[in-house]
Chains A and B, each alone.
Chain A
Amino acid sequence: MSLAHRIIPCLDTDGERVVKGVNFVGLRDAGDPVALAVRYNAEGADELVVLDIAASRDRRPTFLETIRRVAAELAIPLTAGGGIRTLEDGRAVVRAGADKVTVNTAAVERPALISELSREFGAQAVVLAIDAKRCGDHWDVMVRGGRESASRDAIEWARAGVAAGAGEILLTSVDRDGTQSGFDVTLTAAISGAVTVPVIASGGAKSPAHFVEIFRDGAADAALAASIFHDEVQSIRTLKEFLASSGVEVRLAC
């Protein structure tokens, strides 16, 4: 009896439609968020993440409507974010039905955002998303959709974010994202070992073996992927069966 490793499909949206790109560029349409949410819920996803990667002010109402429609279909936790800059932005996604809010660029620029959200909703509702890119002997925090370096060490930022009140880290390897060459095990193990909160590994997943590796060697508490689920390269059900048979504790839907 112990905590199961979580499999989390991620819906990157332009507010309304699911999109996917390689290394954060070259976006293409990957489907309707509600239809995908229904499918993943039925397949045994442990949680769902919905991000607004366009995060433009005028499309925000559309994104909130997407969260409402997705939340209505789910009996599992829902995390939402993308462009969360203020406490009020966070309140809006929680009111729309999200259980957790992810913050990224705005939190790097103003770490108090993490504390404000944590005080209002509790640490368990605040997910600090960190986009990390290898830079010599360390990893740099990247902001603005992974395009710009914040000139900050990812391990140091993860620790500071947790101290500020984040209850979970969503760690994306910018180097691996979209490459399907496997999760960044070294990065994930480094961050997971440095913080006291759960870490969700993201970026680079393709094969079931990649997931075994990130749980076993990367010390990830959860693993997130997008296109391999959307494109049906991998079904969540068979992935979880594979993990269970490899000795990784997962929740198998009956």
Chain B
Amino acid sequence: MKITILDYGAGNVPSVERALQRLGVRSHRTSSPECISKAEALLLPGVGHYAALVRALDEKHLRAALIDAIHRGVPFLGICLGLQVLFNSSEEASELRGLNLLPGTVRALPPSVKLPHMGWNQIEKKRETSLLSGIAPGAYFYFAHSYAALDSNAAAASCSHGAEFAAVIERRNIFAVQFHPEKSGDSGARVLQNFLRLAA
């Protein structure tokens, strides 16, 4: 199996590639709708500003191809911004539309805590998710974000920093994590491996 990584120009693509390489998996980058339509499994990494991601998806005409592939059941993994873009919209750029595959708005974490939420935090499982299979309770994951899905019913695991938010999402073939598995040591590698097994 080969993983297709959506390269929209501002993501952390090399780190994700290296993480997949360590797991012995082939991946290739694309920014073309044709390649997305042919993909066996899709990965959308993301760092930076929500607007940059959404604008790139539209400028490169990737939005329709991506939504179509996900509707057809192609396994999808979104990382960080790649999770946030699944929702209707985000407070980070409220004039832009997200992919609208999950209901709700991505909101700013409360200013009562230090932001960005940066560093290693633990997550709490809400229900069984194959993405966390083999992960010990209390495992830490690396987060770096200021916005989050605060009240998503799709959350399979949550994390808390000033407010509770979705850390892991699993709905049918849609998988997403707010943390960076490619930067989360052994626990992160395990999450990626779980996705690869699900996608195979």
By a beta-carbon cutoff of 8 Å, the part of chain A in contact with chain B is 1-4, 6, 41, 46, 71-72, 75-77, 95, 97, 99, 119-125, 167-168, 196-198, 221-222, 251, 253-254
Can you name 5 A-B residue pairings with CB atoms under 8 Å?
A3-B119, A6-B120, A71-B15, A75-B22, A124-B118
Given contacts A1-B121, A6-B120, contact A221 B22 (CB under 8 A): no
Closest 6 CB pairs of A and B: A122-B48, A251-B140, A124-B144, A251-B120, A124-B116, A4-B120
Q: Quick check: is B183 within 8 A (CB to CB) of the other chain?
A: yes
Pick the contact of A198 from B12, B116, B121 — CB < 8 Å? B116
Compute how far the CA of A15 lies from the CA of B18 in the bound complex, rounded to whole angstroms: 23
Pick the contact of B114 from A46, A71, A120, A221 — CB < 8 Å? A221
Contact B120 A1 (CB under 8 A): no
Which residues from chain B contact A46 at a C-beta distance below 8 Å? Answer: 119-120
Identity of the chain B residue whose Cβ is nearest the Cβ of A119 in the assembled complex: B49
Given contacts A97-B15, A251-B140, contact A4 B185 (CB under 8 A): no
Contact A99 B48 (CB under 8 A): no
Given contacts A120-B48, A123-B146, A221-B114, contact A1 B14 (CB under 8 A): no
Pick the contact of A124 from B47, B185, B186 — CB < 8 Å? B47
Q: Quick check: is B8 within 8 A (CB to CB) of the other chain?
A: no
* Sample of 17 further A-B pairs with CB below 8 A, known A3-B117, A196-B111, A222-B119: A1-B122, A1-B160, A6-B119, A75-B188, A76-B142, A77-B183, A97-B18, A99-B144, A121-B47, A123-B146, A167-B116, A168-B116, A196-B115, A197-B116, A221-B114, A221-B118, A254-B136
Which residues from chain B contact A95 at a C-beta distance below 8 Å? Answer: 14
- Per the 8 Å Cβ criterion, residues 128-161 of B in contact with A are 136, 140, 142, 144-146, 159-161
For the complex, would chain B's binding face be called helix, strand, loop or mixed by DSSP majority? mixed
Compute how far the CA of A46 lies from the CA of B186 in the bound complex, rounded to whole angstroms: 12
By a beta-carbon cutoff of 8 Å, the part of chain B in contact with chain A is 10, 12, 14-15, 18-19, 22, 47-49, 111, 114-124, 136, 140, 142, 144-146, 159-161, 180, 182-186, 188-189
Given contacts A123-B116, A167-B116, A251-B120, contact A76 B183 (CB under 8 A): yes
Contact A121 B48 (CB under 8 A): yes
Compute how far the CA of A168 lies from the CA of B109 in the bound complex, rounded to whole angstroms: 16
Identity of the chain A residue whose Cβ is nearest the Cβ of B81 in the assembled complex: A122
Pick the contact of A99 from B15, B117, B121, B189 — CB < 8 Å? B15
Which residues from chain A contact B185 at a C-beta distance below 8 Å? Answer: 41, 75-76, 253
Pick the contact of B47 from A41, A71, A122 — CB < 8 Å? A122
